[in-house]
Amino acid sequence: MTRLLLAALLAFLPVATVLAQPFPNRPLKLIVPDGAGTAPDIRARQLGAKLQETLGQPVVIDNRPGGSMIIGADSAAHAAPDGYTLFLGNVVTHSINPHLFKALPYRPDEDFIPVTMLSAGALVLVVNPALPVKTLPELISLAKAQPGKLNYGAVGQGSTAHIVMEQIKAKTGASFESVVYKSTAQYIQDLIGGHLQFSLNFWSVVGTNVKAGKLRALAVASDRRLDVTPEIPTFAEAGMPGIEAFAWQGIFLPAGTPREIVAQLQREIVRVVNLPEIRNPIVETGAVVGGSSPEEFAAFIRADRARWKKALADAKMEPN
């Protein structure tokens, strides 16, 4: 009996040792539902590098673009709820897709725990400089004069850029076509190359090319001008009120992740986001720095989802 008891205790020891190990004790994975070189990818790599320093474990960036960002979200939603898989969710995955698709393979509320917002910022409408327009009204006039001949890039149907463009079409009667890409980096390159005529994206993505003369900025989809580039008018100032696209991104964990792990990661992520080397570049691109609690983040998402529901209705877009 003594030998059997000793054998049972020895067999239990490896399991007990693993369970007693502090979190994290192996590499973490951060799933990004967009391609390399995009705004989400840049933010994820900045965050991952600093988290690696503070957590003492590598943070591997796992890019999973495509499918209106459903591919990445679905993968993260069904990951093990142990804290080792994080998800860089955003306005598309959690505010827009629930209204755009009748059936999603993931449930934005039930399958995820909001951890904290990272950043939020307005989108900027940019055109290829070869296009003979310098203002938003001129772009609309050209689109009306050449119906269906102007193309813009977007990451999937139902992306922020797509919805804003549909709003513009509904408001003005202009005609232009969307070209769907797996990642924003791809369509930005095609826009610069002249294969597309215009699109919308964050200043952090398009700003360098605007400054270099490779793109021309016409309007910002915000209620005020960006501090980093005050010369760009808002849509309202350009004669089109009611167009606002304030996109955001934040960290989520699979539902069921232990509360203590959620709290630990939230503390570390907020600390990292507020480091000058992370915070300052966010501010410099015209975005707002996050750092919310899980409860605050969840409340923000509920309100934001309601705003995008109205935007989709204005754009006359029905769920698929």
Helix (H, G, I), strand (E, B) or coil at 240: coil
**CB atoms inside a 10 Å sphere around CB 320:** 10
Per-residue pLDDT tens over the stretch 224-246: 888 888 999 999 999 999 888 87
CATH tag, 131-220:
3.40.190.10
> What fold characterizes domain 27-121+246-314?
D-Maltodextrin-Binding Protein; domain 2 (3.40.190)
Strand partners, 52: none
Report which secondary-structure segment, H or E, holds 61: strand 59-63
pTM higher than 0.85: no
From CA 309, how far away is CA 224, in angstroms rounded? 22
The per-residue pLDDT for range 172-193, each reduced to its tens digit, is 999 888 898 877 788 899 999 9
How far is residue 208's CA from residue 319's CA, in Å, rounded to a whole number?
35
Element (H, E) at 119: strand 112-127
C-alpha–C-alpha distance, residues 170 and 176, integer Å: 11
Q: Which residue has the tokens 């890039």?
A: 153
pLDDT beyond 70 at 267: yes
User: What band does 20 get if pLDDT is binned at 50, 70 and 90?
Assistant: low
Furthest-apart CA atoms within the chain: distance in Å: 92
Q: How far apart, in Å, do the first and last CA atoms of the chain sit?
A: 65
Domains 27-121+246-314 and 131-220 share a fold: yes
Domain ranges of the chain: 27-121+246-314, 131-220
Alpha-helix runs per DSSP H in 106-258: 136-145, 160-172, 184-192, 203-211
Where do the H-state alpha helices sit in 106-183?
136-145, 160-172
For 126, phi and psi rounded to 5 degrees? Answer: -125, 150
